[in-house]
Each structure stands twice: as structure tokens, then as C-alpha cells.
Amino acid sequence: MAFTPDDKKMLEGYIQKARPFAEMFSVKDKTALVTGGTSGLGFDIALRLLQGGAKVVVASNSRIEEEAAMPLFAGQGFADRVRFCFTDVRNEEEVKALVDFTAETFGSLDIFVNSAAIWNYAKIYDLPRQDLELIFETNVYGAFFGVKYVSKYMKEHGIEGKIVLISSNSPIVPYPVFGGYPHYASSKAAVMGLVTEAAKELKRYGIMVNSVAPGGMVTPGAAGNLASEFITEEQQDEFYDELMVWSVDGQLPVDQVGIIAYSLCTPMGDGITGETIVVDGGASHNIVRYQPAIDAYPEED
């Protein structure tokens, strides 16, 4: 098949339309809102957004985390481009106020990353209602309220923005050894569903909605993750015994996840919407470097 002059013109068109490479990685002059931005993955994503040139509002319901995180951002030279807003994402009015605060502080809202989430361990047959409600109010309602008010702002102001929600690979890969995340995994599966539907509704406004689903990471939240305080001491001890023999293929560095979330906030994410990108080093496909010996697990009765 001959290569025609029209084919050459098509290639020339690729060159003409190709944006400068550095621009594709930049969020310069954008305004971002990151819930859960004072700890763990949220902190890492906020840091990357600041490094990329964005102005960032970080939100959480922890003054202790605020006091730790904000000086660290300032120490990197970002004091003039980062602000904190105390927010309980379970409270719809507080989330609405957070969106208003972001727009009023920096004059726009172009990027939203929802990283606020909590979890603990409890078997489904022991799961206290208090834990179920707390997990869903934080992980699902919090994400929903954020998307609701951020998308409303973007739509009303003609902003073709980026929305990135942090999900988890736990709906795909049940763990630990004998379970214990029914409430958390269900909440993160709901986040995946929210992404698909929100992307469907918002694409016509140029708003791209995606999710990043990490595996296990080393974060302050993960380090302090415990069994439910509402189950018995015996049930808690059973969990900790199981966790002692639970082996995974290492912990993913937080920034390996954070940089993928960041990329979805840049022009690199212009052609992606409605997707959940799993970032777990292959664990969801059972691709591992390390496989524990069978005798590492408890013997059957």
C-alpha cells in the first residue's frame, strides 16, 4: 500500500498538535483541592501537585496532622501556594464550605483529589453497625459530597477539570488471610461505581473523572490500622494472630501510587475518564516476587 502525500500531511498534523512535552506533565497555575491531604497518600499527592506548579488546599479533620504537614509544605518552599481547611467530609455542609473556601482563596478549582478514608478490621459476622456507618459515611458519602460540589462549581464556571478519587484493590483482592475488610472493600467498590457514573454525567462538560486503586502501602494510617474497638478482645486477638502470618509481596512505595494520581490531574489524563487504574505492583493478578510457604499458615483443626 502506497504512502501518499495525504498520509504525510496526517503525520505533520501530529507534530503541529503535539503540545510541548513538559506541559503535559504540568499543573502550573491550576488550583487543586486534596481531601486527606495532610497524611499518607493524600500528602504525597498534594506535594506532587505543588511541585507541578499548582496552588493547593489540603483538608482533613485532624489538627495534629495539620500541625505536622503544613510546616513540611512550607519547608519545601510552598508556603504561598498551600492552605489548610479543617473539614469533616462526612458533613455535607462542611464539604460545600470547603469547595467555596478553595475557590475564594485561589480564584478557581481545577483539580479535585479525594484521598480522605478510614478503615479497620472486623469479620462480617462480627461487624458492629457503628463501624459500617463510619466507614461508609467517610469513604462513600465523603467522596460523593466532594464530587457533587466540585463538579457543580466546575460546571457553573466552565472549567474542564480533573477529578481523581482514591479507591483500593481490596474489592478485587480480598485480604488479609481470612478476610476482615467487608465494610472497607464495599465502600471502595462504591467509589469505583461513583467514578463510572460521574464520568458518564460530566464528560459533556469536559470534566474527567477517574480513580486510582492502590494495594498495601506504608502510611501513617496503615501503620495504625487496628481491629474494631467495638468487637471483643478475643476477636481482636484473633485478627492480630492472622496478621502475623499474612504475607504479601512487599509494600508499595506511596509515591508510586501518588505519581499515577498526579498524572491523571495533568494533560496526560485528558483522554481518560471513567477508569479505575489499579496500582498494586501486579498483586491483583497474583503477580508477585514472593510467595509464602504453605506451612506459614495455621494448620486445619
Catalytic residues: 184
Beta-carbon contacts of 124 under 8 Å, excluding residues fewer than 6 positions away, are: 179, 182
Half-sphere exposure of 133 (CA within 13 A, CB side): 4
Cell of 149: 460540589
Alpha helices in 157-225 (DSSP H): 182-202, 220-223
- Torsional class of 250: left (φ above 0), alpha (ψ -120 to 50), beta (otherwise): left
Distance of CA 122 to the CA centre of its chain: 23
Report the candidate in 86, 23, 24, 82 with the shortest Cα–Cα distance to residue 50: 82
Alpha-carbon gap, residue 76 to 74, rounded angstroms: 5
Distance of CA 279 to the CA centre of its chain: 11
Alpha helices in the chain (DSSP H): 5-17, 21-24, 40-51, 63-75, 92-106, 129-136, 142-156, 182-202, 220-223, 233-245, 254-264
Alpha-carbon gap, residue 213 to 242, rounded angstroms: 24
Beta-carbon contacts of 267 under 8 Å, excluding residues fewer than 6 positions away, are: 19, 23, 24, 26
CA angle 272, 278, 279 (to 5 degrees): 110
Alpha-carbon gap, residue 263 to 279, rounded angstroms: 13
Residue type, 291: Q
